[in-house]
Amino acid sequence: MPAPLPTLSPDELRRYARHLSIPEFGIDAQRQLKAGGVLCIGAGGLGSPIAMYLAAAGVGRIGLVDADVVDVSNLQRQILHGTADVGRPKLESARDRLHQINPHVQIDLHRTVFTSENAMAIAADYDVIIDGTDNFPTRYLSNDVAVFLKKPNVYGSILRFEGQCSVFAPHLGGPCYRCMAPQPPAPGLVPSCAEGGVLGVLPGLIGTMQATEAIKLITGIGQPLVGRLLHVETLSMKFRTFNLRRDPECPVCGDHPTITEPIDYQGFCGLPSQNHPTMSSSSTPDVPAITVKDLQAMQANGENFFLLDVREPYEFEIASIPGSTLIPLGQLADRLGEVPQDQKVVIHCRSGMRSAKALGLLQLEGYKDLWNVTGGILAWSDEIDPSVPTY
């Protein structure tokens, strides 16, 4: 027999008055929200509007998973955090902001990375899982855990001017994320928001949609985006809906699943296995690498080498390492003549992923003395020159 729904206090009745006046919603749906729990993975661009609107709506328990700290580059879109929060753990500023919005809501903080080792235990006590991350290992992990636990997974993704939203829930008759994307893209093929950029208001749009879907799932009102993918392109403000089908051969939710517990998602996505799926990899297997301290020592000793920066021009304008030559990764194949073959070539990007891909390209072209800078310009700013802006 299900547990009785909690009652609403006089203050809550006043707070949620605009919900209670909706005939299709009313007091029963509000009590269901109070009894419900949502796990939001990530307290950044998507996680900010998700958590804020769920707290304001009266979801009784909100879990946040994040291990990052607030950076000034976050403030353009991550509205949970303010200028005074720069340097603070995101979960601390998120907790303070959410309690300002609604003191009746329980906020669970999971200051950790969502990994194969802890994901099942973290997600088990919540009714809905929301993916607010921007990397593929965590995306597949959150999907699989939701399937294993028979919980809906509210998906959202954003890049530049476009975003999309869906609800993956095989136990409700729909597909899972793997049905839509059986294989991840090759490492470095799809840029992260940090690399490709994102319009600041876009995560507000998509995150609010994700919060809406979570509310519908908890209360049982409306028709969730199960089996449908909603895509928005903001420059023309066009919305399109695509139908999605469950794949009976899916290894996780199919008729004969072959994956029944969390796997190595870094390896599945072609990245080095590590305990930090939400961090960008600094290198890939068998890629010769040096640290930023090695690079600094080479410069100080006057060593003869070619320092290649494979980021985009707008990134180079924000920050650069002295002595570097900019050739964006997408142009490298057509500009090989600008890269000397008779000299050591040291390659860097923002964090190490694109430079590792550039190194592989140069290897195929016959270059020999190649080195990837572990951690890229982020590590240079962190360990060598703090005056170099991060983004």
- Do residue 297 and residue 373 come from a single domain? yes
Residues 71 and 207 in one domain: yes
Q: Block means of pLDDT (10 residues each) for the chain, length 391 residues? A: 88 97 96 98 97 98 96 94 96 98 98 96 98 94 98 97 98 97 82 80 98 98 98 97 97 97 91 44 62 96 97 92 95 95 96 90 94 95 92 81
Question: Which of 239, 268, 297 marks a domain boundary?
Answer: 268
Domain-located, residue 321: yes
Q: What pLDDT, on the 0 to 100 scale, is given for residue 281? A: 37
Claim to verify: residue 300 and residue 363 sit in the same structural domain: yes
Q: What is the CATH number of the domain that holds 331?
A: 3.40.250.10
**What integer pLDDT is reported at residue 3 of this predicted model?**
80
pTM of the predicted protein model? 0.79
Same domain, 155 and 226: yes
Please, what is the angle between helix 47-57 and helix 90-101, to 10°? 30
Please report, for the domain that includes residue 88, its CATH number: 3.40.50.720
- Give a yes or no: residue 1 inside a domain: no
Domain count, the chain: 2
Note whether 226 and 343 are same-domain residues.
no
> Is 195 in the same domain as 300?
no
pLDDT recorded at residue 1? 63
Looking at the fold, whether 184 and 140 belong to one and the same domain comes out as yes
* Structural contact between residues 114 and 65, judged by C-beta atoms closer than 8 angstroms: yes
Residue 13 included in any domain = no
Per the structure, the complete domain to which residue 307 belongs is given by 289-383
The domain boundary, picked from 206, 239, 268, lies at: 268
User: Do 319 and 251 share a structural domain?
Assistant: no
Four-point Cα dihedral 132, 138, 144, 146, nearest 10: -30
Please check whether residue 161 lies inside any domain of the structure.
yes
Active-site residues: which are they?
Answer: 193, 349
Residue 298: per-residue pLDDT? 96
Q: What pLDDT is stored for residue 276 in this prediction?
A: 37
Whether 199 and 302 map to the same domain: the answer is no
Q: How far apart are the first and last CA of the chain?
A: 52
Of 203, 237, 268, the one marking the end of a domain is: 268
Which pLDDT does position 283 carry in this prediction?
40
Quote the tokens at residue 39. Answer: 């796990």
Residue 22 lies in a domain: no
Nearest 5 degrees, angle CA 99-CA 103-CA 105? 90
Is 26 contained in some domain? Answer: no
Query: Are 342 and 232 in the same domain?
Result: no
Give, in order, the Cα–Cα distances in Å from 302 to each of 53, 162, 295, 363, 377: 55, 46, 11, 25, 20
Q: Is the same domain home to 210 and 342?
A: no
Residue 306 domain-assigned (yes or no): yes
Do 179 and 302 belong together in one domain? no
Alpha-carbon distance 261 to 45, whole Å? Answer: 29
* Residue 25 placed within a domain: no
